[in-house]
Structure formats: C-alpha cells, structure tokens
Structure 1
Amino acid sequence: MQWTDIPADSLQVLRRGAVIPAHLLALDAQRKLDERRQRAMTRYYLDAGAGGVAVGVHSTQFAIRDVGLYEPVLQLAMRTAQDWVPLGGRRPLFMVAGLAGRTAQAVREAGIARGLGYHAGLLSLGAMKGASEPELVAHCRAMADVMPLVGFYLQPAVGGIHLPAGFWQQFAAIDNVVAIKMAPFHRYRTLDVVRGVVNARAEDRVTLYTGNDDHIVLDLLAPFTLVRDGQPVTVRIRGGLLGHWSVWTSRAVDLLQRIHAAVEAGDVPQELLALDAQVTDCNAALFDVAHDFHGCIAGCHEVLRRQGLLQGTWCLDPAEDLSPGQAQELDRVQRDYPHLTDDAFVARHRDRWLA
C-alpha cells in the first residue's frame, strides 16, 4: 500500500492538521480488555471532533503485544470508527496503527494494520536500540514496503532512542512516509527532525505533528524557518498526535481550531500564547513529570475514570499506577484550568457512548 492509495479526503485530514488522540486501553479489575469501555473511548474521541485515532501506540501500552491484544484492540477501534455516526455526521478520518518491535514483528504488525484498513503505521524504534543508522533506515524501509509510515521520535525517558538529523533526512526521503510525530520532549531534537525533513526536500509530502506533550501550543503556533541552498524554507507543525489529547479531547479540538485560525489570519493573540504554559502545567500532572513519567498512562486513565468512562486506572503492568501526589496534582490543574477540561461534554454524552 502506497500513500497515493490513501483516500484523498482522509489524506487531507492529515495534511491540514488534526487532533489525533493516542488511544488509551480500557481494562477491568482483572486487567482484561473491557470492550464496552474501549468502544466508548473511541466514540468519545470521534464525537469530540478528532480527525482519527492512533491505536497500539505507547498510550495503548506496548505490552498489548505480549498478551495477545494487538490485533483485537486495533480491530475494535477500526470497527467502532466505521460503525459510529459522530455528532455532526460522518466525516473522513485518518486512522493510525502503532508498529513496534524488531523488523520481523513490525512488518507483521504492518500487515495486520493494513489488512484492517488503517491508513498509516506509527513506527516506534525503541526495540532497535543499539542498531546503526543504516540498520535503522533499512528497518524503516521494510515497513514502508507494506504501508505508509508516520515517523515517531519517542522520548528516551519512556523507551525511545536518540535519532539525529541525518537519520531523519534519510527517513523523510523514503517515499512512503507521510508524516512524523515529534515527541522527544526536547527543543534541539525537535529541530533535528525539522531540519531532516527540509534537507530531504520532503516538506510537501511529510506533514509534521507534535508529540511534545510538554510544548503543544507553541509547537503549533511557531513557524520553523530554516535555510536550504541559501534560501529560507518555512514549515509548520500542523496537528498533534498526543497522549495528552487522549483526555479533554473536545477542548483539544477547540484549541487546534483556534490555532489554525490565528495562523491563517497572521494574528496570534496573547491569550492564546498564554495557554502554552497552562497546557504544559496540565501535562505535568497528567504525565507525572515529578516522578520521571512513571504515571503517564495512569494519569490519563484517572481523568477518564473521574469522568465515568473508565472504571479504574489499571494498566497491564501492575507496577504502573498513579504516583504519590499525582492525584492531588490532577485536582489542582482541574481546579485552576477548567477551560481546558471537558467534564460537561463527557457528562452529556457518556451514556450514549457506553450503550
């Protein structure tokens, strides 16, 4: 499958820039898949206005592969997205499947995702730690032979590896790459990705997405102007594929719409700039920055538990849970920034999603 095979309206969703939540995993108290609540989450994201979902990614827990849930979870999300009529009616979506593991496993996952109808695979390279740059590029090309790719610069604190600008230039040069999610949580390394795409002359084909949950608003507002062959080249980050946007998703959609409007008008109001620090403060609580991201998935679960979409914060690994003081930090940001939360929206529609 080549990127030219993606339906034009779905590709346009990606290229304009969309809210793509990194889908969480609904488990019951026995840490088994809760299909009803998993389905409800997908419905929530679509009703909130998301442009698609990313399933089988870090927020879905890489360990789904170890317990036989990779294909069932991807299949459930795709079936739900196809069957559900969101608020406002059906619209095109861009559906992303996480790909992980060494080459044989990742190729197998790409085949599963393509067979289920996903448009692209978000390729995590954490399992390739220690590989040379040519080996990494060959690994990526193997997946690109199966389906279109979204690159993924995952921060090392949660299992990613350092990937220099030279790697990103070679990656962006692969014709079947359609986007890159930048999530190193690091300004210099984010620039490495941008520079790699520009140097590969791939800025018209490869759409940039922020995964920097600690810097969402300014990533989306700031132009990146680099020099190529003595001439300035300006690119922008168009959307977000974010764990942060797995919660309070309707507010994320509102935020991205405001950012797009401001960028198109060439007028960025101060109150929009001020949201950058507020969103980052919320993320510190969600992602448990105080404890080196230990509770980053459980923190997102806790928000949906409080809203009634999940029954608990259970992760596949019993050691993954809220850290001491994290619940209190969530209390604080929800109290201080009610304009960034969507409790009322969820309360209005929750029963419909859970039906």
Structure 2
Amino acid sequence: MSTPDPATQLEMYRRMLRIRRFDETVKTLFDRGRIPGSVHLSIGQEAEVVGACMALAGDDYMVGNHRSHGHPIGKGAAMGPLLAEILGKATGVNGGKGGSMHLADFSVGSLGESSIVGSGLPVAVGAALGARMQGNGRVCLCFFGDGASNEGYFHEALNMASAWQVPVVFLCENNSYGVTTAFSRVSRVPDVATRAVAYGIPGEIVDGQDALVVHATVQNAAQRARDGAGPTLIEAKTYRYPHHSEGPLYNNITYRDPAELAAWQARDPLPLFAGHLAEAGIADAALLADIEQAISAEVASALEFAEQSPWPDPAEAHRGLYRTPIAGFDHA
C-alpha cells in the first residue's frame, strides 16, 4: 500500500492530538471528582489507534476495549458526545448510560466497547460474519490488549474467524502490562502475534509508536480480508504512560522500572510524528502550532458542550431494557 498523502497524514496527527488532549481533559475531570467509577487513558498509545483506524474505510466496523476513549476518536467520532457520555449526560453517544468503558458511535462504525476483558473479540467476529453474509464488503477491526490474549475469548474468536474466513483484523495493543502484571510473567510466548500460527492465519508485529507503519500493516490486512482471504492478527508493541486506570490505588505500587517508562516516553508518538511531518516537508513549526491551537479549541468546545448538556430524565433509566421491573412503566 502507498504512503498516505500529506492531507491524510495531517489528519492522522490531528486525531492523535485529539486523543491526547481529550484524555488529559478526562483525567482533570476525574481528579476533580466529576467522573464516577474509573477511567482508562490511551496516553502513549495514540499512534497505533489512529494508524489502525484510518486504514479502514469510513463504513468499516470497529470494536474497542476498556481503554476506550481513543478508539472512536481515531475512527472520526465527534468529541462532544463522547465526553458527554463519560460525564453521564443525556447528549452522550449512549444517552449517558454507558460511561467511560462502554462507548459506541454507530455513525462512524464504532460498535462499542466493554469493561469485560476480551469480550469484544467475539463481537468483532459476529460483525465480520454479518458483513460477509450481507456481501457489503465491510471489514471489522478489533482492538484488544495483551491481557485479553490469555482469555478464552481470544482463542475461540480466532479459531472461529479462521474456520469461517470472516473479514476481521485482530489488533493486539501490547502495552506490556495487564493492570500491574508484566506480560512476560503470564506468558512463555513473548509475542502475541506468534499465536496466529495455531489458527492458520498471518501474524505480524509492528512498532505501535509509528502511525505510518501501523497504518500500512492494517491497510494490507483489511484489503486481504476484503478479498476473502480471512483474518489477520497484528500485534502493536506500544506503551501506556499512565497507570492501568486513574485513582489512588496505584499511588504506592511499584511495578514498572522508571528507566523503562522513560525509554518509552522518549518515543512519545506525538513528537515522533510531528518530527516526521517536519522532515517530510508536510508541516512546519507554524502549521504544527496552528494545529495544536485548533485541537485545544475543539476539546474546549467539547467540554463546554458536555458540561452544559442536561442530565438524563430518570424515566430513561429502564428504557431499552428487555423488560422493566416497574409496573406500568412504558419503555417502548
């Protein structure tokens, strides 16, 4: 596949920057007690998210996971309704019912995300099977973490996808840790991608901090799936700079070598991509500054939208359920 044109590369940078500034805003809101529950940030993983999502067609499907804010933004979703959802507002993409770990935006093909580790894998296989049966040419991209590769969901989903040759691209975001446990402690196989051989499908390892490499690899896999050749397993080696989730739980836990964190921070995907844009003559310092200012304004506008949005009507609490336990409640 050819290198994306300059306009596409600039949009890749914008989306990476949107994810970073969005998650920084979410962290601020969480620290101020504005968000219930917990949040899982994608800071450090923006390149693999955007590179993969922008390798898809606009109507292709995408399934995320619990570290979920970046995926729909990478697919092109508007930030206002996403942030409203995280705050539990009525204007959220799911009416305020989903929250941080259960975002879905069908308008960009984002089928949803789940707090249950690995649960998106069979959903992606089902979406891909539906696409094949309908003959609509769509592909489903499935994000999951290294921890999910040790779940039964992973093995069942890859086996079924391979047996049925459905158009799905499995993308493992290997950030080296499942909560506080290093992947090397729970797997004798150092690379998730090597597990592809057990299912007779291609397995590839990519540098998750390089958006262009991820883009090319996912684009090839998506085209292969579209051509009827079945699934591909891609492992993006990446790193999350924050802890597994926000909150005081990790304040007194040491599980990462500071030198390891510093080495990965030196490969921050945003300055790496900004440097590429400058070296390629696509963007100079002035344009990059303009993009930074524009994205900051977009995020501020999204925050204003979310904060000014109304809370859901209490009557909405049971709408959309299979049944309601409240007598006389109309949930049609």
**Which bin holds the TM-score, normalised by the shorter protein?**
0.3 to 0.5
Q: Which has the higher contact order (CA 8 A, sep 6+)?
A: 2
Q: TM-score, normalised by structure 1?
A: 0.37
